[in-house]
């Protein structure tokens, strides 16, 4: 679980000319690990390239150099892509496996030490340094998240201090950005001998005790409005936690309950964080749709983390039922949209907006619309008609839009154009967010939260419901959908 070298390279597109030294932001080699690699690989050992050679080779491999040329070894479809692991060919030889994480215009790279000869190409899952190296790079990017790329080179001293703490002598000791920074800048916490402090929590929280829990639920839906094509939708969510408690080690127990068991939607799957010690489980019989609460006990890490992910059975009805009717005539589009809010959904939005893109039709020259509520406008690129519905539907729970859109004769191509969306093949997309509501009825029971050892703390809970991908296809055109063949859906007979 060691790394041979680490680089931070800016993304710069070049022609065949070589890179300059000024384009290299940060480099760190680990001589002890390199000596170990030399003795392990023997005659197959490849010397690490210098910074300029590595940057040039890496940008070429990723396609940022000579991007206007087809290079058979790099661009062929027969090449297996295993991102974020790359094979980089340098003047001194080919080095593998190079981990690359791209963040904010920078390439964070490291070369883990392969316990056996890398020429044998062992499976990535058999190399412990792969997952640890990836986590190390993600932590390093978090450390520089508030630093503009142009100023990263000025923080080389902090970067060396960070690596001295996280990767002493090339051996990965800690990949958590929060704990590494705590070791770097804070004094160690002195505890009584009777209390034990975990190694992953070197510094205790100082200040007011607080516990933050957020349940975020998403719905992904596609409405076709066709008799032979059923609508598709998924309901899923996650629970995020941030614990700031002045105790070395705490156990927290929360209860994922329901606002009302009558309208609750049972969970299909629950994926928990490794810090979870126990989670109630229940087995449902075939055809049973009983919704039951889930009790989760966990020991929180220092940083904000996702406690669990879940998927729920499909809702009884969609939150907003929509019908999109559009017809084309020359360079003019006449469209009508009808929205109906479900009476099971809270009628209070933080935002509710519909975007109607027009692909492969040029730019919008004018639009004339009539809405029952809200207002319409054209996006800055003049390719999308935006309907701001507002924060609340009317008492009838309905909203309508009638519009006529005129396009210019010249069709200016756009890189965002969808080749399928031509003529009557079109869709509208809905974006909304509702606070203090979940469609499944799932909630965090604040009254049943337990913390051990017992301590006073400020509790903050958040519940929110958002649209992830909410598309409505034009009922007059063709649609994109996929389904399993009927033969696969039939159960085999004895």
- C-alpha closest to that of 316 among 441, 404, 175: 441
Within 8 A by CB and 6+ apart from 95, the residues are 46, 48, 49, 87, 88, 111
Q: What is the pLDDT of residue 296?
A: 94
Which residue, 73, 77, 21, 80, is CA-closest to 51? 21
Long-range contacts of the stretch 287-291 (C-beta < 8 A, 24+): 289/313, 290/266, 291/258, 291/261, 291/264, 291/265, 291/266, 291/267, 291/441
Residues 6+ apart with CB under 8 A from 57: 49, 88, 89, 90, 91
Q: Can you tell me the distance from the alpha carbon of 390 to that of 374, in angstroms, rounded to the nearest whole number?
A: 5
> What top-level class would CATH report for the domain 210-316+439-473?
mainly beta
Which DSSP state fits 229? B
pLDDT over 70 percentage in the chain: 89
Give the tokens for residue 131: 């997952």
- pTM value is 0.75
pLDDT score recorded for residue 357:
92
Asked if 278 and 296 touch (Cβ cutoff 8 Å), the reply is yes
H or E stretch including 130?
helix 128-143
3-class secondary-structure state, position 384 = strand
Is residue 112 exposed (0-12), middle (13-18) or buried (19+ Cβ within 10 Å)? Answer: buried
pLDDT value of residue 403: 95
Confidence (pLDDT) at 486: 41
Q: At what angle do helices 156-166 and 177-185 cross, to 10 degrees?
A: 110
Q: Does 210-316+439-473 match 3-182 at the fold level?
A: no
State the fold for domain 320-435.
Answer: Immunoglobulin-like (2.60.40)
Radius of gyration of the chain (CA): 28
The answer to whether the beta carbons of residues 457 and 247 sit under 8 Å apart is no
pLDDT value, residue 23: 67
180 touches 168 (CB < 8 A):
no
Please name the residues in contact with 452: beta carbons below 8 A apart, sequence gap of 6 or more. Answer: 250, 251, 252, 253
Strands 93-103, 398-407: pairing kind: unpaired
**pLDDT on residue 34:** 94
Closest CA to 203 of 169, 165, 232: 165
Assign 3-state DSSP to the chain and report helix, strand, coil percentages, each to 5: 20, 40, 45
Instruction: Specify the CATH number for 3-182; select among 3.30.1490.20, 3.30.450.60, 3.55.50.30, 3.30.470.10.
Output: 3.30.450.60
Distance CA 461, CA 470 (A): 26
* Distance in angstroms (rounded) separating the CA atoms of residues 62 and 54: 12
Q: What is the DSSP letter of 41?
A: H
Maximum distance among all alpha carbons in the chain? Answer: 82
Mean pLDDT in order along the chain per 10 residues (494 residues): 93 53 79 93 91 90 78 74 88 92 92 85 86 93 85 88 94 88 73 69 82 96 87 93 89 90 78 88 55 88 91 86 92 94 95 93 91 94 94 95 89 74 91 95 93 93 95 89 47 43
Alpha carbon 133 to its chain centroid, in Å, reads: 19
Q: Determine contact, residues 95/88, Cβ cutoff 8 Å.
A: yes
Domain boundaries, the chain: 3-182, 210-316+439-473, 320-435
Q: List phi, psi (to 5°) of 114.
A: -90, 125
| Buried/exposed code over 412-423 (b: 16+ C-beta within 10 A; e: otherwise) | eeeeebeeebee
Beta bridge partners of 442: 258
d(CA 355, CA 471): 10
Per-residue confidence (pLDDT) for residue 488, from 0 to 100: 38
């Amino acid at each position: 679980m060691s790394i041979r070298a680490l680089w931070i390279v800016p993304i710069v597109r070049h022609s065949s000319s070589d890179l300059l030294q000024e384009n290299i932001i940060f480099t760190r080699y680990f001589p002890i690990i390199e000596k170990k690699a030399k003795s392990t690989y023997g005659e197959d050992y490849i010397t690490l390239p210098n910074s300029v050679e590595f940057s040039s080779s890496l940008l070429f491999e990723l396609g940022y150099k000579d991007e206007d040329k087809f290079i058979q070894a790099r661009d062929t479809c027969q090449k297996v892509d295993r991102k974020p692991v790359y094979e980089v060919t340098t003047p001194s030889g080919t080095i593998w496996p190079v981990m690359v994480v791209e963040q904010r215009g920078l390439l964070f790279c490291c070369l883990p030490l392969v316990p056996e000869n890398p020429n044998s190409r062992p499976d990535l899952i058999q190399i412990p340094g792969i997952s640890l190296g990836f986590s190390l790079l993600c932590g390093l990017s978090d450390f520089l998240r508030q630093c503009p790329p142009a100023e990263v080179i000025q923080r080389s001293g902090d970067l060396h201090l960070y690596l001295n703490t996280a990767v002493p002598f090339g051996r990965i000791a800690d990949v958590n950005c929060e704990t590494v920074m705590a070791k770097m800048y804070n004094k160690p916490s002195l505890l009584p001998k009777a209390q034990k402090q975990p190694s992953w929590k070197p510094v205790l929280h100082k200040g007011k005790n607080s516990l933050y829990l957020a349940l975020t639920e998403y719905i992904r839906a596609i409405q076709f409005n066709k008799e032979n094509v059923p609508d598709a939708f998924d309901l899923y969510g996650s629970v995020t936690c941030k614990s700031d408690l002045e105790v070395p080690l705490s156990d927290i127990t929360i209860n994922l309950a329901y606002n009302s068991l009558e309208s609750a939607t049972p969970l299909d799957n629950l994926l928990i964080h490794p810090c979870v010690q126990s989670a109630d489980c229940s087995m449902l019989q075939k055809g049973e749709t009983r919704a039951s609460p889930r009790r989760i006990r966990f020991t929180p890490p220092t940083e904000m983390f996702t406690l669990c992910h879940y998927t729920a059975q499909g809702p009884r009805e969609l939150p907003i039922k929509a019908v999109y009717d559009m017809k084309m005539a020359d360079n003019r589009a006449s469209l009508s949209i009808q929205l109906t809010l479900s009476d099971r959904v809270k009628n209070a939005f933080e935002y509710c907006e519909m975007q109607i893109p027009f692909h492969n039709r040029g730019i919008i020259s004018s639009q004339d619309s009539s809405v029952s509520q809200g207002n319409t406008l054209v996006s800055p690129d003049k390719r999308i008609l935006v309907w701001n519905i507002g924060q609340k539907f009317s008492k009838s729970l309905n909203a309508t839009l009638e519009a006529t859109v005129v396009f210019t004769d010249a069709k200016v191509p756009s890189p965002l154009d969808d080749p399928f969306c031509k003529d009557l093949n079109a869709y509208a997309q809905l974006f909304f967010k509702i606070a203090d509501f979940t469609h499944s009825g799932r909630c965090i029971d604040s009254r049943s939260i337990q913390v051990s050892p017992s301590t006073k703390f400020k509790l903050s809970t958040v519940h929110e419901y958002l649209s992830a991908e909410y598309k409505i296809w034009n009922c007059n055109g063709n649609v994109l959908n996929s389904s399993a063949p009927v033969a696969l859906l039939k159960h085999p007979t004895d």
